[in-house]
Amino acid sequence: MTVFFQTGKFSIIRKCLNAPICNSLFIRNYSDPVKKFKSFSDVIAQRKAEARRSLVVQVNSETSFNELYGYCSKYASIKDIHHYRNSEKEHFMLIEFETEENVKEVLKACSSHQKDVDVMPIESPFLWFRAAVNKKEKLSCPSTKTLATKDGIEPVDNDLLYEELLNCETVTQQIQHLYERTKLNDLGVRLRYMVARQFEVIFKSLYANVAVQPFGSSVNGCGRMGCDLDLVLSNVLTEDMSDTRRRLVYQEKREEYAGGGRGGARQLELLGALLELRVPGAGAVRRVLAARVPILKCTHHLAALHCDLAASNTSGVYMSELLWQFGALDPRVRPLIFVVRHWASAVGLTNPHPGRWITNFPLTLMVLFFLQQKRKTGFILPSLKVLVDRAGKEDIRIAEENINCTFLRDLNKLPHEEYGQSGEDLHTLLLQFFEFYAQFDFQEHAISINRGVPIRKPNALPLYIVNPLEQAMNVSRNVSYEECERLRAEVRNAAWLLEEGLEGKKGDDWGVLRLIERKDSRGLKQLLRVGNSHRLVSVKDLFNEDDEDVPITKSKKTDAEVDKSVKEMRRVTVEKKEQKIKFKNSQIANEVYRIRRNKIV
Ligand code: GTP
Ligand code: MG
């Protein structure tokens, strides 16, 4: 809250905040040599510009494409249209136009819904496509134009993913494949920026010069499909706004500044009400105002997202930049982070709800720290100190509460010998990751990516992971002794499982499969896979075909009939008591019993 609502100590921050955005707007000279690394601020600027050129329109189905294309192209030129469905299976098209002016033209031609007078209209980039009144008007698009994406945010089906992983040749391929198939895709990122844009447009009706910026896994390169959207609202005072030569100054509502505290919390309350009452798509708003960084939580059903909105958490954005940079330095970093996050979720180390367990962010720092360790051929990532030492004037960033977020931004200036020295493949690295933490002295040592070497713990908290931007803080201070012990046990177990899974012939859960399948469904998955065919068997294969108690016919059935007979089978099964069913063997019987007890089927 402090930065957002204070103007006094903002002068240094202001320059720094504005610098990268402005830099990225300069048109690059084509004679410039091609740079190996794009900067984070360039990527952000590109995504924001994309969002300003885009609109999201709810439609009847994907077949509305032709008509929508025909209608919008009367007003503007269209670059691409992406289709997706939300969790209620409603259809949407994200249209990217050629220019921002195009969007303005289309918006000028919008109407508001008049039927229900209780609904106050609002302008935002989320629209819907009304059925045509004049049916004679023929709208169509050129035959060369097709949807750029269909069902674009549907996550990969788990069974299909596991089958694909099963068919990989090596563990390294499996890890790479897992990353490619589960990472947040282009449309997922676009939608996140559309929501940020919508919030920004609406909040601007109350606050001058505010920006809403995504941070966290949506932008740091570690996000998977369906990850939450972390947003921060910040003040972007421009040079013009603070020019003391300008003598006419806006009156302000002074009593509301009050730094953080109650004043700040009241502003968030107001934004919460705004989300509830004025932001199309936003709902289920929860206010978490007592936290160190107060946030508003909400869902956005038009974009199929969960959002966390903080006010003035600029250090969170810089933290995302840092993680993004580490991920950009070597192509092995992000796949390794992904597989570790998948594994931690599968074994229940992480959990979507807050509690006394580790979360994805500290876990990611653990992976980075491991990659900073010197191995035979050198290290893969530099310590943060190297990036700080190489920072220039243009890299100075000071966030709220004077948090120094200065580090080298242009990775092209980092000498080659400072990163990517070791040539191990992902398989070796994953095994080494587990072995490294299996032997790590959590009792005595803290993990710090600032130095890249273990440091002595300043207190007795079970797990100590230094916050890279506020080194006096521990990002895993919430982790209990029991959870830390579980982490130690699980890394040991994972190292063992990974090694054991590679001995001899590839089994049905070889390589990373046995690490990333949820413990509660692992038994079932293994059971349903048959031999080397790697196909899933049907439910009836679980039962003995000679068993008269179970009504299964061998004739070919329609889907509806199969569905009916499975339901019937379940009913009979329950009615005639479990012991009456004869399973192929006792292992299957035990497994089915366990699964039923856990209510998985
Ligand atoms: P998922 O949401 O689990 O996919 O990962 P995430 O990286 O987005 O984590 P999360 O939503 O928990 O946090 C969002 C961002 O806030 C992180 O990426 C960090 O930049 C920052 N963050 C999270 N936890 C802490 C913390 O304890 N201290 C600080 N300073 N920043 C944090
Ligand atoms: Mg997040």
Query: Where in the sequence of the chain do the CATH 3.30.460.10 domains occur?
Result: 158-239+260-315
Radius of gyration of the chain (CA): 27
Give the pLDDT band of residue 171 (cuts 50, 70, 90).
Answer: very high
* Distance from the first to the final alpha carbon of the chain: 47
Q: Which of 4-13, 242-251, 562-571, 578-587 has the lowest mean pLDDT?
A: 4-13
- What pLDDT was estimated at residue 312? 79
pTM over 0.85: no
Which structure tokens are listed for 233? 């609202």
Would the CB of 467 count as within 6 Å of ligand 1? yes
Q: Which residue has the tokens 């004043």?
A: 263
Q: Which residues pair with 211 in a beta bridge?
A: 234
- What pLDDT was estimated at residue 527? 53
158-239+260-315 is classed CATH 3.40.50.620: no
Query: Where in the sequence of the chain do the CATH 1.10.1410.10 domains occur?
Result: 329-500
Tell whether the model's pLDDT for residue 60 goes beyond 90: yes
Point out the ligand nearest to the CA of residue 475: 1
Point out the ligand nearest to the CA of residue 221: 1
Would the CB of 316 count as within 6 Å of ligand 1? yes
**In this structure, which residue's CA is closest to atom 9 in ligand 1?**
361
**What ligand 1 atom has the least distance to the C-alpha of 469?**
30
Average pLDDT over residues 556-581: 46
Would the CB of 216 count as within 6 Å of ligand 1? yes
**What ligand 1 atom has the least distance to the C-alpha of 364?**
7
**Amino acid in position 9:** K
Nearest CA to 184 out of 216, 147, 150 is that of 216
CB 307 within 8 A of CB 294: no
- What pLDDT was estimated at residue 578? 43
- What pLDDT was estimated at residue 378? 87
- Judged on CB neighbours under 10 Å (0-12, 13-18, 19+), 205 is exposed
Tell whether the model's pLDDT for residue 34 goes beyond 90: no
pLDDT tens for each residue of 450-467: 999 999 999 999 999 999
Contacts of 487 (CB under 8 A, 6+ apart): 349, 358, 437, 442, 463, 479
- Give the separation between CA 546 and CA 92, rounded to whole angstroms: 50
Residue with more model confidence, 441 or 591 = 441
Q: Which residue has the tokens 């033209």?
A: 105
Q: What is the mean pLDDT of the chain?
A: 83
Would the CB of 227 count as within 6 Å of ligand 1? yes
Which structure tokens are listed for 186? 């282009």
Give the pLDDT band of residue 591 (cuts 50, 70, 90).
Answer: low
Nearest CA to 463 out of 490, 442, 449 is that of 442
Tell whether the model's pLDDT for residue 539 goes beyond 60: no
Contacts of 579 (CB under 8 A, 6+ apart): none
DSSP class of residue 84? E
CATH code assigned to 329-500: 1.10.1410.10
Element housing 522 (H / E): helix 519-528
Give the pLDDT band of residue 309 (cuts 50, 70, 90).
Answer: very high
- Give the separation between CA 504 and CA 525, rounded to whole angstroms: 21
DSSP class of residue 481? H
**How close is the Cα of 521 to the center of ligand 2, in Å?**
26
Phi, psi of 76 (to 5 degrees): -160, 160
DSSP class of residue 417? G
Would the CB of 64 count as within 6 Å of ligand 1? no
Would the CB of 319 count as within 6 Å of ligand 1? yes
pLDDT tens for each residue of 342-383: 999 999 999 988 899 999 999 999 999 999 998 877 899 999
| 3-state secondary structure at position 71 | helix
Contacts of 6 (CB under 8 A, 6+ apart): 257, 259
- What pLDDT was estimated at residue 425? 95
SS (HEC) of 307-375: EEEEECCHHHHHHHHHHHHHHHHCCCHHHHHHHHHHHHHHCCCCCCCCCCCCCHHHHHHHHHHHHCCCE
Residue with more model confidence, 346 or 120 = 346
- What pLDDT was estimated at residue 239? 82
* 183, 230, 404, 471, best to mutate for ligand 1 pocket (most atoms within 8 Å of CB): 230
Beta strands in 147-253 (DSSP E): 210-215, 229-235
- What pLDDT was estimated at residue 520? 54
Tell whether the model's pLDDT for residue 601 goes beyond 50: no
Would the CB of 475 count as within 6 Å of ligand 1? yes
- What pLDDT was estimated at residue 504? 59
**What ligand 1 atom has the least distance to the C-alpha of 228?**
2
Phi, psi of 512 (to 5 degrees): -75, -10
Residue with more model confidence, 310 or 548 = 310
Q: Which of 71-75, 414-418, 432-436, 541-545 has the lowest mean pLDDT?
A: 541-545
pLDDT tens for each residue of 66-90: 999 999 999 999 999 999 999 999 9
Give the pLDDT band of residue 208 (cuts 50, 70, 90).
Answer: confident
Give the pLDDT band of residue 6 (cuts 50, 70, 90).
Answer: very low
CB 311 within 8 A of CB 267: yes
Using a pLDDT cut of 90, give the percent of the chain over it.
63
pLDDT tens for each residue of 260-275: 555 677 889 999 999 9
**How close is the Cα of 576 to the center of ligand 1, in Å?**
51
